[in-house]
Every structure is written in structure tokens, then in C-alpha cells.
């Protein structure tokens, strides 16, 4: 640990103390080594902290500047500060007891005056990250590049009408993949940033989408060339900052990947608040990606039901994490992906200790969801009710249709003979919901 120069002095390693714990700086449900469905919790959940929110979030909003009290942010030279910040970040990760973190290139290192200078800055910080990874065993879940903050990306990066914005973004992603590889990153994420449009009149949507695919193919080719084995992810988000983003939701992204021959290389990184912006529950997104074989990783957060943008709050709703973990277990888990807290403390929660409360709450909420989902699966009551609902499909007619041996003609003959279909049975939604509540 950081010893004399601790940033989070007075806070020790967060321990599992069980549901009766007295301290609020303890886990009540997340017991890293406790075995669920044959695997330790930490391997099911693979928690990661987002470098951008936890260590670069200032609390600024459109109405006012940052509010966060971060006493360690006291170095005038941005590169020196970046290196010092790595010590703080790893002190936090270690005390929290997570196995992973995620970053954008520009979160960890400052942009320089030229591309070469930015790359050099990044190398300096990556040296520091690498040392701390080796010291602690904490790993990089995925890396990514910030292709949305700089004015050069005002119209997007891979989908920009300016070809040199595309070229610069390509150079940036090349470097980001290299450092992700160097740090042993388990994955690399594409989030669209500004890849979308504000107005269709000035937009050639076909050309922009073709360019986005070209860009991803170049990334896949380069990964192959250098032997980067990490999983690529595409992260859906329907809007914000653009009015429409091309990576709208899981179904749209999967269609894009299949259209352009990327389906073997890229999976989904699904974020709760992005799902709600798309008019879906995260359960829908997980189920959709899971059934299509594209379930990759999760960006964990939650929105506010009364606020219509990406509020990126920490998840505290056990019902929701139960839904999520039920789908995740059903489709065989997330590894090499994980659960990355793409979430930020509120502007009003400006003390360093709030970072702990936020992450502890999120981790416990997912651990509870995992335990409840596993209990539901062990018991099988929900699965049995679903099977009953589809029982007619297990009869001879259903089996023949599913096997592909029936046709419109043969089915017409069958129904002409019967005159009317068999009566439908109740959907029993309320029963399902009551049964689920018995586990909570």
C-alpha cells in the first residue's frame, strides 16, 4: 500500500464482513472467494473501476465547474501529475479489492502538442501503470481511445467528413491497442463517441457507416499483425452527445457487425444507462446479445427514471442486478469481459471517501444479484414456469415445425381438419413476479 503518502489515509483494505457488518466501509455481500455455481464470486463478477470517472471526474456540469475535493491533484506539470495519479489510483484499486480497471488513452496521460508528444506522454504513464500492475496483480480489463473530446473530432472520428480526423483517430487507436497489449489488457472497447449525426441533411449516412466499418477492420487487422489477443467490444449508446449514434443498441450494433463481416471479432459491451436511453431495459440488451452469441462485457451504472440523459449513477437496485446476473449466468458468464463501473459519484458527493461508498455499494448490489440469480437457477422454478408456457411446442406438431418439416400448406391442412386452434393458457406474469420476489 502507499504508506506515508496515502491519498486515502484512514481507510484500509475493504473486507467482507457479512450482512451484519457494522462498518459502512465493508462488504456485506461481496465475498471475493465465496463459491457460487462452482466459481469464486470474483471470477463471475470481474469488477473493474473506470479510470475516467473515478480519477478524472471533476463533478463539472453544464451549470458549473468541478466540485471534487482531490487533495492529491496538486502538481502543476500535467505529465508529472498523471504519473502521481497512477499511485493514487492503485492505492484505491488495492484498498477496494477489485481485480481490474479500464481507461481511455487521454484519461491516463495528457495530450501533447503533437501526436508524437502524446504518444510519448502515454508511454511514460504506461510505465507507471505497468509497475503497479506487477506489484499488485491488478489487471487491465480493457483499454480504449478518447475519440470525442478534441475539436478534431467535432464531427466524429471514424465517421468524420474530414479524412484527416479519420487518419488521426486511426493513429490514436493503433497506439491505444499497443499499450493495451503491453499492459496485458483482456479487451479493447469501441464506443462511438461522436460517431453519429445531429442532422441528416448534411450527413451521408451510408458513407459514414462504411468508414466506421473500415476503421474497425483496420483495428482487427492490426491486432492480428501484432498478436494482440484481447477481445474487441462495441458499446451501444443511442444518443448523447449526438442526436443519433450509429451504435444505437445491441440489435443495431450486431446488424452492423454482421453487415460488414466483423461478427467474428467483436462482441458487445453493454451499459445499463445506454440501454434505458434506447428505450430498453438492460435485461433486454443482455438477452438480445446473449441469444445472438455477442455477450461480451458490462458497463455497470444506472440512470434516473426522471432524468433523460446518461446520469451514470452507481447501481443500487438489487432487482435490476438480479435480472442482469440471471441473464449473464444463463449465457455462460462474461469472461474475458467483466463488470466495469462506468459510473460517477454525484457532484454533491465530493469527498474522496464517497468513491469508496459508491463502489462498495455497486459491488454489493451485484454480489447480491449473483447470489439471488444462482438460487433461482438452482431451484429451477422460473425455468419450469417458462417451459410450461411453451409446453405445446414440445408436442408432436411443435417438434415438427421446429425441426423444419412443416410448411404453410401442411399447417393449413392441419388447421382445416381441426377447425380452430387449441385454447391459449394464461401468461401468469403476476405469478412469475411473485415467485421472483420470494428469492429477494
Binder among 237, 267, 280, 359 for ligand XLS (CB under 6 A): 237
User: Which DSSP string corresponds to 196-263?
Assistant: EES-STT--HHHHHHHHHHHHHHHHHHHHHHT--PEEEEE---SSSSSEETT-SHHHHHHHHHHTT-T
Nearest CA to 331 out of 301, 290, 360 is that of: 290
Binder among 342, 356, 369, 376 for ligand XLS (CB under 6 A): 342
Q: Does 299 bind ligand XLS (CB under 6 A)?
A: yes
Binder among 119, 121, 133, 144 for ligand XLS (CB under 6 A): 144
**Residues 403-422 vs ligand XLS: string with x where CB under 6 A?**
--------------------
How many residues belong to the site for ligand XLS (CB under 6 A)?
Answer: 10
Q: Does 271 bind Ni ion (CB under 5 A)?
A: yes
Smallest separation, CB 271 to ligand XLS (Å): 5
Distance in angstroms (rounded) separating the CA atoms of residues 76 and 69: 17
Q: Does 271 bind ligand XLS (CB under 6 A)?
A: yes
**Cell digits of residue 282:** 438492460
Residue with Cβ nearer ligand XLS (94 or 285) = 285
Q: Does 31 bind ligand XLS (CB under 6 A)?
A: no
Q: Does 299 bind Ni ion (CB under 5 A)?
A: yes
The binder of 144, among ligand XLS, Ni ion, none, by C-beta within 5 to 8 A per type, is ligand XLS
Smallest separation, CB 320 to Ni ion (Å): 16
- Do 168 and 156 touch, CB atoms closer than 8 A? no
Q: Does 310 bind Ni ion (CB under 5 A)?
A: yes
Binder among 103, 191, 248, 326 for ligand XLS (CB under 6 A): 191
**Cell digits of residue 86:** 497512477
Q: Does 249 bind Ni ion (CB under 5 A)?
A: no
- Do 228 and 215 touch, CB atoms closer than 8 A? no
Q: What is the SS3 assignment for 44?
A: helix
Q: Which residues contact 60 (CB under 8 A, 6 or more apart)?
A: 66
Q: Does 91 bind ligand XLS (CB under 6 A)?
A: no
User: Which DSSP string corresponds to 347-404?
Assistant: TT--SHHHHHHHHHHHHHHHHHHHHHHHHHHHH-HHHHHHHHHTGGGGSHHHHHHHHT
Distance in angstroms (rounded) separating the CA atoms of residues 68 and 348: 8
**Cell digits of residue 360:** 462498495
Residue with Cβ nearer ligand XLS (144 or 292) = 144
Judged by CB under 5 A, the chain residues 316 through 375 that form the site for Ni ion are 342
Q: Does 249 bind ligand XLS (CB under 6 A)?
A: no
Q: Does 235 bind ligand XLS (CB under 6 A)?
A: yes
Q: Which residues contact 176 (CB under 8 A, 6 or more apart)?
A: 104, 105, 143, 144, 145, 188
Residue with Cβ nearer Ni ion (94 or 271) = 271
- Do 420 and 360 touch, CB atoms closer than 8 A? no
Residue with Cβ nearer ligand XLS (299 or 364) = 299
- Does residue 104 have an active-site annotation? yes
Name the residue with the smallest CB distance to ligand XLS.
191
Over the Cα atoms of the chain, what is R_g? 24
Residues with a catalytic annotation lie at: 104, 107
Residues that bind ligand XLS (CB under 6 A): 104, 144, 189, 191, 235, 237, 271, 299, 310, 342
Binding interface with Ni ion (CB under 5 A): 271, 299, 310, 342
Amino acid at each position: 500500500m502507499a504508506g506515508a503518502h496515502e491519498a486515502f489515509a484512514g481507510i484500509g483494505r475493504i473486507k467482507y464482513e457479512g450482512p451484519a457488518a457494522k462498518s459502512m466501509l465493508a462488504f456485506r455481500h461481496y465475498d471475493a472467494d465465496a463459491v457460487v455455481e462452482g466459481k469464486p464470486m470474483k471470477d463471475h463478477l470481474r469488477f473493474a473501476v473506470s479510470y475516467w470517472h473515478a480519477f478524472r471526474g471533476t463533478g463539472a456540469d453544464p451549470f458549473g465547474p468541478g466540485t471534487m475535493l482531490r487533495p492529491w491533484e496538486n502538481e502543476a506539470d500535467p505529465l508529472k501529475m498523471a504519473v502521481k495519479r497512477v499511485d493514487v489510483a492503485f492505492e484505491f484499486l488495492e484498498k477496494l479489492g477489485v481485480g481490474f480497471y479500464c481507461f481511455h488513452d487521454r484519461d491516463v496521460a495528457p495530450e501533447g502538442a503533437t501526436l508524437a508528444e502524446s504518444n510519448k506522454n502515454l508511454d511514460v504513464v504506461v510505465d507507471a501503470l505497468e509497475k503497479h500492475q506487477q506489484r499488485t496483480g491488478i489487471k487491465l480489463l480493457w483499454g480504449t481511445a478518447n475519440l470525442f473530446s478534441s475539436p478534431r473530432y467535432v464531427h466524429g472520428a471514424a465517421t468524420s467528413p474530414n479524412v484527416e480526423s479519420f487518419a488521426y483517430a486511426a493513429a490514436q487507436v493503433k497506439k491505444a491497442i499497443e499499450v493495451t497489449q503491453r499492459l496485458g489488457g483482456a479487451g479493447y472497447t469501441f464506443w462511438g463517441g461522436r460517431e453519429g449525426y445531429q442532422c441528416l441533411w448534411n450527413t451521408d449516412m451510408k458513407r459514414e457507416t462504411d468508414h466506421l466499418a473500415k476503421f474497425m477492420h483496420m483495428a482487427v487487422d492490426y491486432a492480428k499483425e501484432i498478436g494482440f489477443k484481447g477481445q474487441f467490444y462495441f458499446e451501444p449508446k443511442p444518443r448523447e452527445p449526438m442526436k443519433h449514434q450509429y451504435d444505437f443498441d445491441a440489435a443495431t450494433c450486431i446488424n452492423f457487425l454482421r453487415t460488414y463481416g466483423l461478427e467474428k471479432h467483436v462482441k458487445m459491451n453493454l451499459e445499463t444507462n445506454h440501454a434505458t436511453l434506447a428505450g430498453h431495459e438492460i435485461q433486454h440488451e443482455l438477452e438480445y446479445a446473449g441469444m445472438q452469441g455477442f455477450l461480451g462485457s458490462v458497463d455497470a451504472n444506472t440512470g434516473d427514471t426522471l432524468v433523460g440523459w446518461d446520469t451514470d449513477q452507481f447501481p443500487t437496485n438489487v432487482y435490476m442486478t438480479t435480472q442482469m446476473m440471471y441473464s449473464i449466468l444463463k449465457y455462460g458468464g462474461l469472461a474475458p469481459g467483466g463488470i466495469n463501473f462506468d459510473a460517477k459519484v454525484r457532484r454533491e458527493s465530493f469527498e474522496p471517501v464517497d468513491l469508496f461508498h459508491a463502489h462498495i455499494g455497486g459491488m454489493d448490489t451485484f454480489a447480491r444479484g449473483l447470489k439471488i440469480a444462482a438460487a433461482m437457477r438452482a431451484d429451477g422454478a422460473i425455468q419450469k414456469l417458462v417451459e410450461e408456457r411453451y409446453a405445446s411446442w414440445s408436442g408432436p406438431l411443435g417438434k415438427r415445425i421446429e425441426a423444419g418439416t412443416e410448411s404453410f400448406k401442411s399447417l393449413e391442412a392441419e388447421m382445416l381438419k381441426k377447425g380452430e386452434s387449441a385454447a391459449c393458457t394464461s401468461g401468469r406474469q403476476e405469478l412469475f413476479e411473485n415467485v421472483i420476489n420470494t428469492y429477494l
